[in-house]
Amino acid sequence: MQKLNFSILLPFLTLLVFGLVMVFSASVFVEESLGRTPDPFAYGYKHLIFILIGCGAMLISFFIDSNFYKTYDWLILTFSIFLLAIIFIPGIGHEVNGARRWIDLTYIKVQPSELIKFSLIIYISAYSLRRKHELSSVIGFLRPMLVLFLIASLIMAQPDLGTTLILCLLAVIILFFAGISIGQFFILVITIFCLGTMAIFFAPWRLARLTSFIDPFEQFLDSGWQLANALIGSGRGEIFGIGLGASIQKNLYLPEPHTDFIFSIIVEELGMLGGLGLIAIFTMLVLSILKESNKCFSLGKTFQGLICYGIAILISIQSMFNIGVNIGLLPTKGLTLPFISYGGASLITFMTMIGVTLRISFENNTKI
């Protein structure tokens, strides 16, 4: 037990339990509105099942030697890309609201774009170690970029701009930390910015989201509906909140109150203090993983250090994107809040990554 990293485990468990409570609270009217079951807590029970599956995945990843990922990084990445590709095969891919992002397995729907996040961290980390002295060269720099371009193309075809931006930022930050030049870094940033801008301005619905983000209440009954109701919910919470379970916005005013906009429900029910407390726990978790990353580098375990660094960056970026959308700092995107939002693929993937960080920490503290 003393070899388990409780500075990672405790904030993670806190987020997990808190997320379960908030999914139970935020989803009570969603299932009822769909008319599928009279049980208002159906989504909460499903989320609990996802947590139990995630615990199994986390346990398995804890017992796998971290060097396994370095050996089979290409196989893991190839499998993830394969899952992204078969989404577009009729009868396999499942479409919701015009987006084809899920593989329909009858009893469960798998979202490969969640798995690809972890796969990309593994690949970039392993590549950066193997090709450390080639990263500053054109060929060494272009290889991971071609892989990233393929992944981004498949995800944009779903379409999913939010996840694409997350993956691009993740890859750029890991590569920069691994040793690409300042010039290469700025080329990547400018390229991502230009492509992102084109993706927004050439898609009417994305442009509508951007314009409504500037003043959501001006288009309250149209494209500004989600953000406006999220802001109303956050505003109603004030400092201390109106009480757990007492949210009005989750009563079908705010779309997806248990997934993309759960943070708004948290602030409405628990107030600004509840929201800041949640951010503080995320900060503790990320800093603990970064601390373990630094320990890996000091022990000469570059690959493991980059894995921990990538996981910490992913949790940070996705959390900031989700919270930024909820409080009106960023345009609306369909991104979950790690460990908190309802969603099996996202939750299980992030729990698996925590299992990997705990394994790496265990290896650092154990003489093998």
The pLDDT score that the predictor gives to residue 2 is: 55
The pLDDT score that the predictor gives to residue 10 is: 95
> If residue 303 lies in a helix (H) or strand (E), which one and from where to where?
helix 302-326
The pLDDT score that the predictor gives to residue 72 is: 94
The pLDDT score that the predictor gives to residue 33 is: 60
Q: Nearest 5°: CA angle at 333, between 316 and 203?
A: 135
pLDDT digits (tens, 9 = 90+) for 151-173: 988 998 888 888 888 999 999 89
> If residue 80 lies in a helix (H) or strand (E), which one and from where to where?
helix 73-86
Q: Which of 147, 166, 154 is nearest to 334 (CA)?
A: 166
The pLDDT score that the predictor gives to residue 141 is: 79
Residues 67, 68, 72, 77, CA torsion sign: negative
Residues of the chain with pLDDT under 50: none
pLDDT digits (tens, 9 = 90+) for 14-71: 999 999 999 999 888 876 665 555 677 888 999 999 999 999 999 999 999 999 999 9
The pLDDT score that the predictor gives to residue 144 is: 87
Per the listing, tokens 């230009």 go with 194
The pLDDT score that the predictor gives to residue 63 is: 95
The pLDDT score that the predictor gives to residue 292 is: 95
List Cβ neighbours of 134 (8 Å cut-off, separation of 6 or more).
140
The pLDDT score that the predictor gives to residue 34 is: 59
Long-range contacts, stretch 30-39, CB < 8 angstroms, 24+ apart: 30/250, 30/252, 30/257, 30/258, 33/252
The two counts, helices (H) then strands (E), for the chain are 14, 3
The pLDDT score that the predictor gives to residue 287 is: 97
